[in-house]
Amino acid sequence: MIYRFFKRHLRVRGAALYALIVFALVHCGPTPEKFIEKSQAALAREDYDSALLYMKNAYELSLPKDFFVTTRDLSFSHLRASHDGQRILLVEKKIPKKAYESTRIYAIDRQKGSQQKNTMRGKIRDVNFSPDGLQAVFLQQPTESIKDCKLWLWQISADKMIEAGASHCVTKPAVKNDGTVWYMKQDQIHTFDSKTGKDSLFNRGQRPEKSARKFPAYAHFYAAPDNKVWMIYGAAGSYRLYQLSEKTKLVSKEIAASRLYLVAESRIPGVFIGGAGAQQFVTLNPKDSQIGRRMKAKVWGDAAFVNDRQYYYIEDGVLAYRDGNKETELPFWAEQLAVGVKDELLFLSSTGSAMRYTQKMPPAESLKIYNKAVEIDDSKS
């Protein structure tokens, strides 16, 4: 991990921290000062987890509004973005005891300045956005006792919700711009045509080859802007990559993770390959699926690629940025990343806030709070 350079420049201790926070929020409710007081009380009783969480909330409350996609009092479990970053999908974050109750979902059109809302009962295990951001497919577990998940397609422009099938809950369905849903059931690839309501077996139901035949394998589908569909199939660090067109085409047997990333500027897909300790991130030529550029990489918590030289990643919960050989740790804890519009990163913070980063650093007062939170985080380990 990159050294935390903020420590060298913005170290603040004890009561001096309070004197440095002279601003207040214009609305009523929690303030940075209140959360800092709670953090100090938690530290006094050696509850470092609570102290860190309070300080993270204090930090986010201190940030200007332009660092947030929505209001700061909302918390989300999933964030997805269209390929051009103009449409954003958000799923409300629920506490465990309310996970199967009604969940709010939001579709934000940034160009039009509009927002659509919907609700869904049951636990949303995953969600995938179509490349144009006009369709969303949800993996929904109706109740805790039901182990298979339902697939729901939200046609956002028509505000219509359609049941599209069922699948294992450890999977990721995908939806193309035309509303076709791709998913796997009983090791067979299915497609659901939202226009006709017809479900079909892909490639006559031929089952893709597993990495390890004695163990179950799970499918993770991704729809690309060039109308191609990719599938990563396997489990536990041993996956195979397929391209799905007229038939199931095996591209690689050496996939290390179940995530496929689309490089935003070129629309080139990229994946992690290799075994533990020797992973590489590689880009694939969309025409022939051959490996192009290679770069050494870890299998991070998440990543977002602007191009094949500039990308963001999460390591140990902290957001970082790389441009060529230059790496910079950024003052944010993050869980999910997505490429936004030009020079913008969209991400979910560790508290569930939907945030944006545009190469603009937070104010000095906020960084002082961040630095104090880093000290608490480091003291936990």
State the Cα torsion 58-64-69-74 to the nearest 10°.
30
Q: Which tens digit of pLDDT belongs to each residue from 90-119? A: 999 999 999 999 999 999 999 999 999 999
Residue 343 is part of which domain span? 302-360
pLDDT at 342: 83
Maximum alpha-carbon separation in the chain: 69
Tokens for 3, please give them: 């050294």
pLDDT in tens, 174-189: 999 999 999 999 999 9
Say yes or no: 336 and 375 in one domain: no
Residues facing 162 on adjacent strands:
153
Q: Which helix (H) or strand (E) holds 19?
A: helix 16-20
Give the Cα separation of 128 and 118 in Å (integer): 16
- Contact (Cβ atoms closer than 8 angstroms) between residue 198 and residue 160: no
d(CA 120, CA 328): 39
Cα distance between residue 327 and residue 320, in whole Å:
7
Domain assignment present for residue 229? The answer is no
Could you tell me if residue 21 is inside a domain?
yes
Are residues 18 and 54 part of one domain? yes
Please state the domain count of the chain: 2
Residue 19 domain flag: yes
Task: Examine the domain organization and report whether 350 and 375 are in the same domain.
Answer: no
Whose CA is closest to 61, among 81, 37, 44? 37
Q: Are residues 336 and 373 in the same domain?
A: no
In angstroms, the first-to-last Cα distance of the chain is 14
Question: Residue 276: its pLDDT value, please?
Answer: 60
Phi, psi torsion values for 314, nearest 5 degrees: -110, 125
Q: Is residue 284 part of a domain?
A: no
Pair (348, 374) in one structural domain: no
| pLDDT, position 6 | 38
- Please check whether residues 322 and 343 belong to one and the same domain: yes
Answer yes or no: do 45 and 25 share one domain: yes
Residue 51 lies in a domain: yes
Radius of gyration of the chain (CA): 22
Q: Is position 111 within any domain? A: no
Regions in the chain scoring below 50 on pLDDT = 1-28
131 within some domain: no
pTM of the model: 0.88
In a domain, 42, yes or no: yes
- In this structure, are residues 144 and 106 in contact, taking their beta carbons and an 8 Å threshold? no
